Amino acid sequence: MLIAPSILSADFAKLGQEVDDVLAAGADIVHFDVMDNHYVPNLTFGPMICSALRKHGVSANIDVHLMVTPVDSMIEAFADAGASMISFHPDASIHLDRSISLVKDKGCKVGLALNPGTPLYVIEEVLHKIDYVLIMSVNPGFGGQTFIRETVDKIKRLKQLIVDKRLSVAIEVDGGINESTIKSAYDAGAEIFVAGSAIFNAKDYKQSISALRDAIKK
């Protein structure tokens, strides 16, 4: 199980230090939420910030979650800026298979992100072509929202689909993940956990990341 702090909840005035601190505190992946005020009602950061983190010395995997439309130009820009993993929403791509190939051709792991209201069948035809599915457990756009409980059943059904098809596709869950919600997502089959406010709103990042890992073991 991998912990991926969402830098959406970090202090942007000292972003490089914040990323260094969560990685030193035991985080596995840096989760990078890209919002365009079009696909979602918020605006965050572009590829320049990603390359700035690489220049700053961040060597951990950077997991870019594109909440933008159109997606293809941003896939290329973020891959060139140092992304290791790129996910996008199938409903934000006109040619899903082509966008998946674009991520792969750029040498990144490819993920598809599903909003709470988006059904699993949207990705069935391409499930064998991707590395992970990002299940949104809140409606995308903001940190600090409440975990939508129905997501647990969705993760279970996705896990079963992956097993039935004998695929090796990881499940990432994002939104409202904290000490109270992480275990239900883990038990359902998720293995990558994005957490923003649960980590960055704590005074001690090491303690908050350990608390997430401990909550799973309970």
Q: Which residues bind to ligand 5SP, rule: CB under 6 A?
A: 6, 8-9, 31, 33, 65, 138, 140-145, 174-177, 194-198
- Binding positions are 6, 31, 33, 65, 141-144, 174-176, 196-197
Alpha-carbon Rg of the chain, whole angstroms?
16
Q: Helix %, strand %, coil % for the chain, to 5?
A: 45, 20, 35
Residues 97, 87: Cα–Cα separation, whole Å: 13
- Shortest distance (Å) from residue 175 CB to ligand 5SP: 5
Give me the residue whose beta carbon is nearest to ligand 5SP: 196
Closest separation between CB of residue 127 and ligand 5SP, Å?
22
Residue tagged active-site, from 33, 36, 63, 131: 33
How many helices (DSSP H) and strands (DSSP E) are in the chain?
8, 8
Quick one: 90 or 128, whose CB is closer to ligand 5SP?
Answer: 90
Catalytic option among 21, 63, 174, 214: 174
Q: Which is nearer to ligand 5SP, 68 or 102 (CB)?
A: 68
What is the DSSP-derived secondary structure letter of residue 92?
G
**How far is 63 from 17, CA to CA, in rounded Å?**
18
Minimum CB separation of residue 132 from ligand 5SP in Å reads 14
Annotation marks residue 174 as catalytic: yes
Cα distance between residue 2 and residue 194, in whole Å: 9
Q: Is 153 a catalytic residue?
A: no
Q: Count Cα neighbours of 127 within 13 Å in the Cβ-side half-sphere.
A: 21
Catalytic residue set: 33, 174
